[in-house]
Chain A
Amino acid sequence: MSRFPLAASAVALALPAALPAWSGTDADLAEIRIQIQQLKSQYESRIRALEDRLKDAEAAAQAPAPAKASSSASLSAFNPAISAILGGTYSRLTRDPAGFGIAGFPAGGETGPGKRGFNLGESELVLSANADPHFAGKLTLAFTPENEIAVEEAYGQWVTAPFGLSPKFGRFLSGVGYLNEQHAHAWDFVDAPLAYQAFLGGQYANDGVQVRWLAPTEHFLELGAELGNGGNFPGTERGVNGAGSGAIHAHSGGDIGNDHGWRAGVSWLRTRAVDREGFSGKSGTAIADFVWKYAPNGNSRDTSFKLQGEYFQRRERGDTDASLDARASGWYLQGVYQFLPEWRVGARYDRLDPGLIDFRPKRSSLMVDYNPSEFSRIRLQFARSQTQPGAADNEVFLQYILSLGAHGAHKY
């Protein structure tokens, strides 16, 4: 419907521009001159290209020709970009991880420091490609050490959407907060911040739809909204027809001179739980996040510094039992300093306030990692974690991360 008036107005706009070209002989001449000039430059560039090809052919004739791709290439030519992430840890924990819990917070999702000893981390396989001129898709499979395959992300994107909109549909990591959208292998520490574990069960993924809108300004401003089935922690699977969860987020960011960059935002996630450890009711989580990055002249090859922090607040209201109403909060702050091209050190502090009880879980972590190239990382991390009353858990992790295949994206 709307296409016709648009086309009509486009014609109306174009007409006055086209008319003067036919109104006088001078204009005709100019037009012809332009065309001749264009032809000339086209021929020049073609001749140059031919010369180059000749040169290449001469060079190729001297050098042995590289092996031609096999004939099956025609079938595999449209293969998506494939990359694989391999990871593993060696952990030493003073407290038995089987008894892990965060005092005052319901358990859900993936929490805790993982198993003791040698562990295969999650291996990730990522496939991505354009489906057609309008849609692109990405599939991220996680292979767990227990020999299970989990679909971490599987989403389509409408890439030619107008007005700066980016619609996404399927299963995807929610755009709330800062760290939530990053896959575990991109984190600066072995494990997720305590606040992510307590409030989002590690990371919040949605089966649903997301729409982002990027403001048409030189300053970065992005708004996003999501609807999902709400089956993931802090919500529960409830079998409703409509949307089980909703999220909105707003982010802004920019540069300060050549050396500094930042991004900050606020998000809100709303979902419901039924019979989650005895709780049934509404759950709303607000998140404020920021990240600030420094690199001399913006060149992060040799040295850089990154400071990031997020604050969470959750309000839950029971449907029938008002004694279950709770307001919990938590935050983390971390800094990572790259002091040599291949070496980084980092420190992180986690703090939670369950609200219902007086005990406040906390954790301090230190890490150092060595990055021989962009595609490999070896990390050593120490942490002192006090998530429950009693003795603190002293944790040591040694981790490796390798990325194979298609070049990963440098997400900010």
Chain B
Amino acid sequence: MRSIIRSFLAGTALLATFGAHAALSIFATVPEWGALAEELGGDKVKVYVATNALQDPHRVEAKPSLIARARGADLVLATGAELEVGWLPLVVQQAANAKVRPGTAGYFEAAAQVPLLGKPTRLDRAEGDIHPGGDPHIQTDPRNIARVAAPLAQRLAELDPPNAAFYQARLARFNERWNAALAKWQKDAAPLKGAAVVVQHRAFTYLIAWLGMSEVAALEPKPGMEPTTAHLSQVLQTLERQPAKMVLRAAYQGDRASQWLAQRAKVNPVVLPFTVGGSEAAKDLFGLFDDTVQRLLKGLA
């Protein structure tokens, strides 16, 4: 009996070592960081993405499937800035995986790598479901993706030293392609400069800052609160004074409020993919911004 147990344990240990060498197992909380990890890691990483583009990232639960996947992860790749505050701490704790606890090399927060916008001046839940550190939806600005890419590649190299050169080479190639694409997006998006927009949830702060657009109003009366008729009427009044071209919402958000507004004011409802997988065309990070820019230009027309 003892020998059976011993050989079973040895087998498990052996499998574990092989598994670790075969690929770095990455648990990405949202699709954009999963996609970035694949760009940088290629076949040296195995990426599991915890949520999809049609899910509200604030409202995720610590599902059994997530706990099981976090158990075997070498790296938890999160947005941070409290985006996943409702579920990731619980998942990491229940996964009983000391390797990926916050503060260890196996825990990486993208929002810690970029300057955050929209820091609330008043920390009070009367302001809605606000994020004390600033707006966590950093992925809507492609320059932030590049800012996350370099430290992420370094972290991958740290966790998987034999492939350090591989990750650095992938990073260099990614940066090259990304900079070329960025130049094109910025050129294409030039007409968007100065365009006034209404947003459903304040989730496009970085996109608006990047393209030089201006945010006139938000459909949610406070972050995380459902739009009310009273508030929408106020937005309508604001639009009479400050007309906007379009009303933006993410793929995971319902269309009722923006349709309501579009019927009453001359604004085009525009659905943005928001993250990888949010639309047919947003198959990867490049497609995400190709599609975002195209949809915005269409909304402008």
Contacts and interface: CB of A to CB of B under 8 A. Distances in A.
Contacts of A219: 68
Interface in B21-78: 51-52, 54-56, 58-65, 67-69, 71-72
Contacts of A160: 98, 101
Interface in A324-364: 341-342
Nearest to A41: B150
Contact of B63 (A261, A342, A372): A261
B207 interface: no
Interface string A9-49: 00001000100000000000010011001100110110010
Interface stretch (B80-88, B182-190, B236-244, B287-295): B80-88
Contact of A297 (B55, B64, B87, B171): B55
A212 B93 CA distance: 12
Interface string A54-69: 0110000000001000
A263 interface: yes
Given A34-B164, A218-B72, A412-B62, A159 B55 contact: no
Contacts of B98: 159-162
- Taking residues whose C-beta sits less than 8 angstroms from the other chain, chain A's interface range is 35 or more
A302 B226 CA distance: 10
A245 B253 CA distance: 49
A252 interface: yes
B71 A164 contact: yes
Contact of B114 (A37, A52, A261): A52
B224 A253 contact: no
Interface stretch (B151-159, B211-219, B264-272): B151-159
A220 to B, nearest CB: 4
Contact of B86 (A34, A255, A342, A408): A408
A372 B65 CA distance: 29
A204 to B, nearest CB: 20
Given A220-B67, A372-B225, A41 B171 contact: yes
A107 B225 CA distance: 43
B168 A37 contact: yes
Contacts of B154: 38, 41-42, 45
Given A217-B68, A410-B59, A166 B226 contact: no
A340 to B, nearest CB: 8
A410 B60 contact: yes
Most buried by A among B67, B68, B225: B68
B101 A407 contact: no
A297 B54 contact: yes
Contacts of B56: 299-301
Contacts of B194: none
Contacts of A45: 147, 150-151, 154
Contacts of B51: 298
Contact of B93 (A159, A215, A297): A159
Interface string A191-217: 000000000000000000000111111
B263 interface: no
Nearest to A296: B54
A254 interface: yes
A253 B96 contact: no
Interface string A389-412: 000000000000000100111111
A323 B62 CA distance: 46
Nearest to A371: B226
A169 to B, nearest CB: 15
Interface in B141-197: 147, 150-151, 153-154, 157, 162, 164-165, 168-169, 171-172
B68 A412 contact: no
Interface in A267-310: 293, 297-302
A177 B237 CA distance: 53
A165 interface: yes
B93 A375 contact: no
Contact of B62 (A41, A166, A222, A409): A409
Given A220-B68, A410-B86, A301 B93 contact: no
B259 interface: no
A300 B69 CA distance: 21
B61 A412 contact: yes
A372 to B, nearest CB: 7
B61 A410 contact: yes
Contact of B64 (A164, A254, A300): A254
A106 B259 CA distance: 58
B118 interface: no
A270 B176 CA distance: 64
Contact of B96 (A214, A342, A373): A214
Contacts of A409: 62, 86-87, 89-90
A412 B59 CA distance: 12
A291 to B, nearest CB: 10
B7 interface: no
Query: Which 8 pairs of residues, A with B, have the shortest CB-CB distance?
Result: A253-B64, A220-B64, A297-B54, A220-B68, A160-B98, A301-B56, A409-B90, A45-B150
Given A34-B164, A157-B93, 11 more contacts: A33-B165, A55-B115, A159-B101, A160-B101, A164-B95, A216-B72, A255-B65, A300-B56, A373-B128, A407-B86, A410-B59
9 contacts: A41-B154, A41-B168, A166-B94, A214-B67, A255-B63, A297-B252, A299-B54, A407-B82, A409-B87
